[in-house]
Amino acid sequence: MQKTGILNPDLLHLLARIRHTNALVIADRGFPFFPEIETVDISLVDGIPTVLQVVGALRASYDFTEAYMAQEFLGENTPEVQAQFKAALAGIQVTYEAHVDFKKRVPQAIGLIRTGDVTQYANLILVSGRP
């Protein structure tokens, strides 16, 4: 029995398919459903878990080199929230784009992890690096 790291079997199944240059979406609780990609919903209640908690768990085992976020994130969140995301994504090139353009990238992702996060526009697309 696995005792450390990510324990959710559906999430492990999704993560096992991430390869070089594949994208993974980590979304807040209000992000739309995309039927064409696998979604693993790990939301429990509002705020649990957060996008940043998931990012922290993933960064322990995966190498992500790029991230995409909605430009609207910057206008809707405090400097403190923005600093938390910047710290969590340290070393990853982040590109901000209009939310409508961000959502156009989603169908090309390996899958989507839905969280309970209530932070406005807290959605991320993470792109894996080279092994």
Q: Which residues are the active-site residues?
A: 20
What is the greatest pairwise CA distance in the chain? 44
For helices 51-59 and 79-88, the axis angle rounded to 10 degrees is 20
The strand ranges marked E within the chain are: 23-27, 38-41, 64-70, 93-97, 111-114, 124-128
